[in-house]
Amino acid sequence: MPQITVDYSATLADDFDRPAFARALHGAVVEIAAAKPPACKTQFRRTEDTTVGPDTEGHAVVHVTLGLLAGRTDETKARLTEAVLELLRQHVKPAGGLALHASAEVRDLDPSYRKFEN
C-alpha cells in the first residue's frame, strides 16, 4: 500500500517524465496520507489508443488511481488528488499542440486486500 496506477496516452511517451513523477508522487503520498516510503508502488500503463469525444487526434490522457487502505478522510483524499494534478502539470509537457486531459482519484482498497513480499 499504496497501489498507484498511471494510465497515459502513448503520444506522451517522450513528454512525460515518469521516474521523476513517481518519486515526487511517492513523497506527496508519504506527506499527505502518512504512507511509508518503501510501501509506495507505481505502475505505468501506456495506452495505444486515445479518443476524446469524437476525436482520435490531438488529445492525450493521463489518469492516476491511488489505492489506499481505508481510513483516510475525504479531505485527505482531496488534498492528495490536487497534489497529483499539480505534479502532472510539472512532469507532463505535451508537444505538438496536444490537448492534455489529466485526472486523479483516490480509492479505498477493498478489505480483502492482501500482499506478500519475497
Look up residue 97 and give its amino acid.
G
Task: Report how far apart, in Å, the C-alpha atoms of 63 and of each of 43, 53, 59, 113 are.
Answer: 12, 16, 13, 22
**What is the rounded distance in angstroms from the CA atom of residue 20 to the CA atom of residue 29?**
14
Nearest CA-CA partner of 7 in 84, 113, 90: 84
The pTM (predicted TM-score) of the whole model is 0.93
pLDDT (mean) for 69-87: 97
Q: Does domain 3-108 have CATH number 3.90.1150.10?
A: no
Task: Quickly list DSSP for 9-38.
Answer: EGGGTTTB-HHHHHHHHHHHHHHHH---GG
Query: CA torsion angle for 63, 68, 73, 76 (degrees, to 10)?
Result: -50
What would the pLDDT profile of 21-34 be if each residue is shown by its tens digit? 999 999 999 999 99
Listed range (11-20, 25-34, 71-80, 94-103) with the worst mean pLDDT: 94-103
Cell of 35: 504512507
Strand partners, 94: none
Residue 118 has pLDDT above 80, yes or no: yes
Cell of 13: 511517451
Q: Where are the domains of the chain?
A: 3-108
What is the band of 49 on the pLDDT scale with cuts at 50, 70, 90? confident
pLDDT (mean) for 94-105: 93
